Amino acid sequence: MRAMRGKTLIVTGASSGIGEELAVVLAARGANVVLAARNAEALERVKARCTQAGGAALAVPTDVGDPEACRVLVERAVEAFGGVDVLVNNAGVTMHSRLEDVKDLGLFERLMRINYLGAVYCTYHALPHVKARKGLIVAVSSLTGKTGVPTRTGYAASKHAMQGFFDSLRIELLGTGTDVLVVSPGFVATHIRDAALGPDGTPVRESRRDESQRTMDVGTCVAIILRAMERREREVVMTASAKVAQVLKLVMPGLVDRLAARAVREKD
């Protein structure tokens, strides 16, 4: 718990799900949390939870797809708390559509702008401050950043881009005392799939899978992330089956493709 006390952390996508619960737990551990998301009303609700938990919190409505908004986010954090120790790139949106069914190609640009470029913009502006404190950059990616998944082509592409970006950045930062952690959860009990973009680029408003089956609860996911942050790990693949799949992909890639296809058929 002492590892986070007095530290300043920016958490994007903080209005719900993993971002919200992570921010509240960090606040309970004595951290200063800067909350970023587009929904200002939801951010105020999360800010109240953080304050009640015992931490200092600042809500900064932010569209991470706008590089200027990301600059302002970091600027507000520095003004309020004097610097930045940790940036958690958690904001994201997913999709649900086979490529041949897509009606609006703009959904691919939106996925890349929020999931990938949003993380790039926030990291670019926060990096000088994080380096000054020998801090940590966290990227909340996905298992789809490791293995392709049908009906998630654009989402998987954006997460693969995140993986490549942060792996490269980690190498650039060798010897600086600043670390990079990439987190790859599987299915977590959040509302991200309710807001998945459908073939026409609008949210489907209802998850296409049975959320009661093989889904990690948010508390467990956040606990894994926090442990990895405190240990300054380089990467976390959250499920045992996904770890096995990473090995199988090297030696039996066709099998992994068939397993991914079957898993989606079972869940959709």
Three-state secondary-structure class, residue 62: coil
Tokens 């991914």 map to which residue? 260
98 C-beta neighbours (distance < 10 Å), count: 11
Distances (CA, A) of 225 to 88, 95, 132, 222: 10, 24, 23, 5
User: Rounded to the nearest 5°, which phi and psi values hold at 177?
Assistant: 85, 0
Catalytic residues: 155
Relative orientation angle of helices 67-81 and 118-132, to the nearest 10 degrees: 30
Q: Which two tokens stand for residue 167?
A: 């792996």
User: Alpha-carbon distance 15 to 42, whole Å?
Assistant: 5
- Provide CB contacts within 8 A for 43, sequence distance 6+: 14, 15, 35, 36, 37, 59, 60, 61
Three-state secondary-structure class, residue 36: strand
